[in-house]
Amino acid sequence: MMMRLFVALTFVGFVGFALAEPSSQTQAPLVFRVTGEVQAFPETAVLKFMVVGEGETLGKAQEQLQQSEQAVFKVLEKFGVRKDQVLIERFAIIPLQPSLSSGPPSPVALRPLGYRVQKGYGIVLPVSVETLDKLLQLADAVLQQGARPTVVTEERYGYYPERMPYTLVEFMVRDPERLTQQAMDDALNRARKLAEQATRHIGKVNLKLVRLTVSNIQTFPERRTITPEGRDPIGTFVWQPIRVTVQAEVLFTYE
């Protein structure tokens, strides 16, 4: 599965390498600090949802979950989504405990009142501005069959219980490393143009790249999610261009 696009202020060490060793006749090196940039729209959407079953026993909870699963998979089939496209991302068994608000209960009262079984799913789909309406129709149809948006776990994002963040759709690019490389190429091209301008008064010269050092890479936005209306999640974004910027130091010599 493609890696999601969550880069956000990553520091990169030395990524360049010496392409030519300056000779004793070479002039003083030219050093440029430049910023490269590239933008791209998301190419992939991941529809994330949970199917839940509850019952007095695990068997009854599982039976209810399977009924909900069958209804969800039936509607997915109508939208042309194959069963092998639906990936299980999470499975949880949760004992349902009585409320502890009235004080410490007896050991007998701590026995589970029932069980909840949850399955978290993800469906990877190609996305473009022309297919956004179909994506929303698919998400709506799944939710109408009893599925729920996926809860963002507390270990990843701190939150207050009354403001629990949910994720329904995440947008990504298929190859985030490609965007980073394109931004680095843009930085190098900008530096080369500056070097050509700086040596224009000398005449025709032969520029040689000695070193390319990237100081940091930033990706905006950091998270790409759509959430159910009325929620107050942390770091929510809509479908929009992804922008990658690279700050680099480029060193040339010339003859």
Digit-coded pLDDT (tens) for 241-254: 889 999 999 999 99
- Copy the structure tokens of residue 43: 């190419």
Residues 75 and 158 reside in one and the same domain = yes
In this prediction, residue 116 has a pLDDT band, given cuts at 50, 70 and 90, of very high
Same domain, 151 and 213: no
Q: Mark whether 158 and 237 lie in a shared domain.
A: no
101 and 214 part of one domain: no
Neighbours of 126 (CB within 10 A): 11
Round to whole Å and give the CA distance between 86 and 74.
12
* Amino acid identity for residue 10 in this structure: T
The percentage of the chain sitting over the pLDDT mark of 90, rounded to a whole number, equals 56
pLDDT at position 23 over 50: no
Domain count for the chain, please give it.
2
Q: Does residue 150 lie in a domain region?
A: yes
Do 184 and 152 belong together in one domain? no
Q: How many CB atoms lie within 10 A of CB 150?
A: 23
Q: Does any domain span residue 117?
A: yes
pLDDT of residue 195: 95
* pLDDT for 192: 96
Domain of 90 in residue numbering reads as 44-172
Residues of the chain with pLDDT > 70, as a percent, come to 73
**CATH number of the domain that residue 96 is part of:** 3.30.70.2970
Both 166 and 57 in a single domain?
A: yes
Whether 210 and 20 have beta carbons less than 8 Å apart is answered as: yes
* Per-residue confidence (pLDDT) for residue 14, from 0 to 100: 30
Report the CATH number at residue 236: 3.30.110
24 part of a folded domain: no
* The last residue of a domain, from among 172, 195, 210: 172
Do 160 and 57 belong to one domain? yes
> What is the average pLDDT across 134-154?
87
Domain boundary among 156, 172, 188: 172
Does residue 182 contact residue 195 with C-beta atoms inside 8 Å?
no
User: Residue 3: what pLDDT?
Assistant: 37
154-191 per-position pLDDT tens digit:
444 444 444 556 788 888 888 889 999 999 999 999 99
Whole-number mean pLDDT of the chain? 80
Does one domain contain both 104 and 118? yes
Residue 154 falls inside a structural domain: yes
Domain's final residue, options 121, 143, 172:
172
Q: Is residue 98 part of a domain?
A: yes
Say if residue 186 is in the same domain as residue 230.
yes
55 and 154, same domain (yes or no): yes
Classify residue 94: in a domain, yes or no: yes
Q: Is 202 within 8 Å of 139 (Cβ atoms)?
A: no
How far is it, in rounded angstroms, from Cα 96 to Cα 93? 10
Name the 3-class secondary structure at 41. Answer: coil
List, for residues 84-107, the tens digit of each pLDDT value.
999 999 999 999 876 555 555 555
Does position 193 have pLDDT exceeding 50, yes or no?
yes
The answer as to whether 87 is a domain residue is yes
Is 192 exposed, middle or buried, given 0-12, 13-18 or 19+ CB atoms closer than 10 A?
middle
Considering just the CA atoms, what is the radius of gyration of the chain in Å?
27
Q: What is the DSSP string of 112-152?
A: -SEEEEEEEEEEEEE--TTTHHHHHHHHHHHHHTT-EEEEP
Is the pLDDT at 60 greater than 60? The verdict is yes
- Does residue 237 share a domain with residue 149? no
Let me know whether 157 and 184 are in one domain. no
Q: What is the mean pLDDT of residues 214-227?
A: 74
Per the domain annotation, does 2 fall within a domain? no
Token couple for 137: 């129709």
